[in-house]
Amino acid sequence: MIEEYLQIIQNWFSIDNVLFEFLGQKVSCLECLCTLTGLLCVFLAVKGKVANFWVGYIYNILLFLMFYQLRLYSSMLLQPISLGINFFGHYRWTHPKDYEKDHKSQLKVTVFNNGERAVVVAVILIFMFVWGYVLSRVDMWFPSLFTYKASQPYFDAFILGTILMAQYLSAQKKLDCWGCWMVANVSNIILLRRNGLGIMPLVYAAYVILAIGGFLTWLKMYRKQHYLEMRKRVEEKWAKEKID
């Protein structure tokens, strides 16, 4: 009986469990679930809602199953790491230090300078070359785990590095995270179309739009916080001058 239930679950979450065809591409139930949870997760993040992390946990698990079956090993291995970053971000957003709090006592939005942005780009490129090299040989080193050669290892590695950086910056509530998300999402559209997915590339196109909305929303939050901090300093200065 247990084996029958496990087989049903396995079939349900198989990319061969096709629900319909879209633009000549077969769309599985698993891809649809990834679509729904992914869109909801990003929408909540754009709004600055902590609930995005809870949805993100489910999204990571579903993506792991899908990418494993597609032999996109870099994207697959991203999910456990992403899960860890989600836990970190969940804690950071809900437990900011006193000087990191905004007017709602949540982690406030901050911004990198140009030097810090250059470091971010350098880290992503170094990661791409190192991890891409590993991916290109993972089927030879671990043939029992990875039966087939990795698909587009360096491009996959670039996307992985960009997503990891975007997630880390999101966990720190850096406005710059949305730039990384836009680059990662456009790259994912190209990668997933090349690997035969029909719906997910459109989902990532929606992510690009949401990333633009997220940037504008967080920019507004940042400017409001900056204004409130400036007004507070002015009020404190006036109060001090009255005392003197």
Residue 179's pLDDT is what? 93
For the residues 180-208, what does the mean pLDDT come to? 82
Q: Which residues have a Cβ under 8 Å from the Cβ of 149 and sit 6 or more positions away? A: 136, 139
For the residues 2-11, what does the mean pLDDT come to? 54
Q: Is the pLDDT of residue 155 over 70?
A: yes
Task: Give one DSSP letter per residue of 113-124, joined into a string.
Answer: -HHHHHHHHHHH
Domain range annotation of the chain: 2-243
Residue 162's pLDDT is what? 93
Q: pLDDT: is 231 or 219 the higher one?
A: 219
Q: Is the pLDDT of residue 95 over 90?
A: no
Separation CA 104–CA 99 (nearest Å): 13
Q: For 33-85, write each residue's pLDDT tens digit.
A: 888 898 888 888 888 788 888 898 898 888 888 888 877 776 787 788 888 98
Structure confidence at residue 10 as a pLDDT band (50, 70, 90): low
In this structure, of 122-131, 169-178, 230-239, the range with the lowest mean pLDDT score is 230-239
Backbone phi, then psi, for 111, in 5-degree steps? -130, 145
- Letter for the amino acid at 227? Y
